Chains A and B, each alone.
Chain A
Amino acid sequence: MKTIISIIAALLFSTLFYGQNIGLNLSVFSVITIGLLIFQHPKIARLKSAIVFIVVYFTTAIVVYFNHSALAIFANCVAFFTLIGTFSESRSSIYIRWLNGIYTTIAAYFQRRSDSTIDQEQQNWKKNRDYLQLAKLIGIPLMVSIVFILMYKNGNPIFNGFIEKINFEFINFQWFLFSLLGFFLFNNIINPVQIHPATTKDLQTDNQLHPTGLLLLDQLKKEQQLGILLMALLNILLIFYSITDIYYLLNNDIISASALSSQVHSGINTLIASIIVAILIILYFFRGNLNFYQDNVLLKNLSYTWIFLNIGLVVLIAIKNTEYVVVYGFTYKRIGVFTYLFLTLAGLITTFLKVRNVRNLWFLFRINTQVAFAILMVSSCIDWDHAITNYNLKHAENLDLNYLIDLTDNNAILLQDYTAEHRVSSNQQQRIHDKYIGFIDKVSERNWQEWTYDNILINKKFDR
């Protein structure tokens, strides 16, 4: 049954993807995958975590059709691996699901081959088979025939002509191999496998930190003294830095792009160093028994202060970046800064939770990878090229039109509409026109497998 399903799925796979670009085909593939997984594993599909990831994967499939951006395709692939990993082991952490998902997709067949046990009857049959004789029967006549065919070809022009006429071009062998790849893929994902040591270890590890051995009070006291001194110094330093930064922010009307850019980037560098050091120091001191030491309140409070001061640093840089965006509009780098700030904020909050709730390092890994996954999924839902162009054309005080022209074709219609209503240089107008025409041509030439939402838009625009 599974083989028949895999064969049908493989034929669909080659129909969807053979010689085609990404478009509607990836969305259809996602729906087929979801359908097959639910059909094959109905019990797992009813679990809450499976439902969540099915919805996420389905959403990314729709997003690929509407956005057609590299980020949307990447998010769809990540969601695919996560879903497969969920069907491998639904209780595991998200990074173990990724590993299981990737492993299942690329090598589940080999895992099953290794796991398969041959029964006695098959073993006897294998033993009784004379491999050498079989090789002789096939190999020797084949090789001798080929050598003689090659010799006779040179000796007789009619025979040569006959041999030359033999061709297998009527068989699309590459299509067959592509279908084989599809079969391999579906055969793998229909029966998900696990990376045993990693999955087992993950399931056995909880998020709670436990005391290790006896609490050596003298040693813990010394460690705490060092921690208090270090954290107090770092807090004072960061307070001083933040005050000077706020003063600078309030008393300087910087309008040049380079000055704003340098401010944001130096701020980001400071932030990166500060956050990494902060988290490492906190993790070092709260790695073990200091968490269970009764007099650790001061050290904990200093750590919380340090975390909140770093959150303040995040806010300061966010303000600078917003200023930058208001004047010069959005770019990918500026959006990247916001993303980084958001991730940092999540990292700091989870570190705070780790210390407060006495959690271990695995808790940080688990929760932060989930946050990263969520951010990727949410950000893939936005057509960034379109959003950047739309915002900059409407709101940016200093518009960099060349930057917008260099973005992908997703903003071609917006730019073309803009040139119809605004004055732009002839060079830019020409470039926008070329981009628009190129986009229309590209969209019009697509096969149904490559369709995206742009096809509907273009058809509507030209009333086809």
Chain B
Amino acid sequence: MNVFLNFCKSTVLATLIFWMIISPKSFEVDTFLFVLLSMIPVFVCCVVTIALTIYPFFSLFETKAFDKKAVFNTFFPFYAIVAFSLCIYVIFLSNFEFYMIAFFTSAFMTTSYSWVWFSKEPM
């Protein structure tokens, strides 16, 4: 499995979504530099989250009889429901704070896409 490519794609996607959401509030031309710099912490977040919460499902459960598609179909629905509930809960706790909404929206979308990318990789 090409885990590193998954990390990179997730980083780009998470950065894009996060900045797209917050850009109307704080986007100026100077901010471009911050967008590029923000990719470093976003990359770290992506690596930690994907390596700890998504990759183990594929590395532990994938066999010849139980392929990536089956792993996705079995575990992703519950992962998505739990992740979504946690994101909503934290957003609610933060009293719908704008940056928290941006962060957790990008987190949910990115982790979901990461599952899709893993499931579509060849054996």
Check if A272 is an interface residue, CB within 8 A of chain B: no
Contact B80 A107, beta carbon cutoff 8 Å: yes
Contact A111 B76, beta carbon cutoff 8 Å: yes
Q: How far is the CB of A334 from chain B (nearest CB, A)?
A: 28
Contact A143 B36, beta carbon cutoff 8 Å: yes
Q: Give the residue name and chain of the A residue nearest to B32 (CB).
A: A146
Contact B116 A102, beta carbon cutoff 8 Å: no
- Chain A binding site: helix, strand, loop or mixed by DSSP? helix
The interface stretch among B18-26, B42-50, B54-62, B89-97 is: B18-26
With A103-B80, A106-B81, A163-B29 as given contacts, are A174 and B112 in contact (CB-CB < 8 Å)?
no
Check if A195 is an interface residue, CB within 8 A of chain B: yes
For B69, the chain A residues whose CB sits under 8 A away are 114
For A149, the chain B residues whose CB sits under 8 A away are 29
Contact B84 A106, beta carbon cutoff 8 Å: yes
List which B1-59 residues lie within 8 A (CB) of chain A.
20-21, 23-24, 27, 29-30, 32-33, 36
Q: Size band of the A side of the interface? A: 20 to 34
List which A63-105 residues lie within 8 A (CB) of chain B.
99, 102-103
Contact B119 A114, beta carbon cutoff 8 Å: yes
For A102, the chain B residues whose CB sits under 8 A away are 81, 84
Q: How many angstroms between the C-alpha atoms of A149 and B33 in the bound complex?
A: 11
Interface string of A165-188 (1 = CB under 8 A from B): 010100011100100000000000
Neighbour of A110 across the interface among B30, B33, B116, CB < 8 A: B116
With A149-B29, A166-B29, A174-B24 as given contacts, are A99 and B116 in contact (CB-CB < 8 Å)?
no
Neighbour of A197 across the interface among B24, B73, B81, B116, CB < 8 A: B73
For B119, the chain A residues whose CB sits under 8 A away are 114
With A113-B116, A114-B120 as given contacts, are A103 and B81 in contact (CB-CB < 8 Å)?
yes
Q: How many residues of B contact A (CB 8 A)?
A: 26
Check if A233 is an interface residue, CB within 8 A of chain B: no
Contact A106 B80, beta carbon cutoff 8 Å: yes
Contact A110 B115, beta carbon cutoff 8 Å: yes
Q: Give the residue name and chain of the B residue nearest to A98 (CB).
A: B81
Q: How many angstroms between the C-alpha atoms of A114 and B76 in the bound complex?
A: 10
Check if A150 is an interface residue, CB within 8 A of chain B: yes
For B20, the chain A residues whose CB sits under 8 A away are 173, 177
For A464, the chain B residues whose CB sits under 8 A away are none
Contact B116 A150, beta carbon cutoff 8 Å: no
List which A416-441 residues lie within 8 A (CB) of chain B.
none
Contact B73 A196, beta carbon cutoff 8 Å: yes
For B29, the chain A residues whose CB sits under 8 A away are 146, 149-150, 153, 163, 166
Q: How many angstroms between the C-alpha atoms of A195 and B74 in the bound complex?
A: 8
Interface string of A105-128 (1 = CB under 8 A from B): 011001101100000000000000
For B72, the chain A residues whose CB sits under 8 A away are 114
Q: How many angstroms between the C-alpha atoms of A29 and B73 in the bound complex?
A: 30
Q: How many angstroms between the C-alpha atoms of A106 and B86 in the bound complex?
A: 13
Contact B77 A195, beta carbon cutoff 8 Å: yes
Interface string of B105-123 (1 = CB under 8 A from A): 0000000110110011000
Q: How many angstroms between the C-alpha atoms of A110 and B81 in the bound complex?
A: 12
Contact B112 A110, beta carbon cutoff 8 Å: yes
Q: Give the residue name and chain of the A residue nearest to B102 (CB).
A: A177
Contact A107 B112, beta carbon cutoff 8 Å: yes
Contact A103 B77, beta carbon cutoff 8 Å: yes
Neighbour of B113 across the interface among A99, A110, A150, A195, CB < 8 A: A110
Q: How many angstroms between the C-alpha atoms of A113 and B118 in the bound complex?
A: 12
For B32, the chain A residues whose CB sits under 8 A away are 146, 150
CB<8 Å pairs between A and B, sample of 29: A99-B77, A103-B77, A106-B81, A106-B84, A107-B77, A107-B80, A107-B81, A107-B112, A110-B113, A110-B115, A110-B116, A111-B76, A113-B116, A114-B69, A114-B72, A114-B76, A149-B29, A150-B29, A150-B32, A153-B29, A163-B29, A173-B20, A173-B24, A177-B21, A195-B77, A195-B78, A196-B74, A197-B73, A197-B74
B residues touching A (Cβ–Cβ < 8 Å)? 20-21, 23-24, 27, 29-30, 32-33, 36, 69, 72-74, 76-78, 80-81, 84, 112-113, 115-116, 119-120
Q: A114-B76, A150-B29 are in contact. List 9 more A-B contacts (CB 8 A).
A: A103-B80, A106-B81, A107-B76, A107-B84, A110-B112, A173-B23, A177-B20, A195-B77, A197-B73
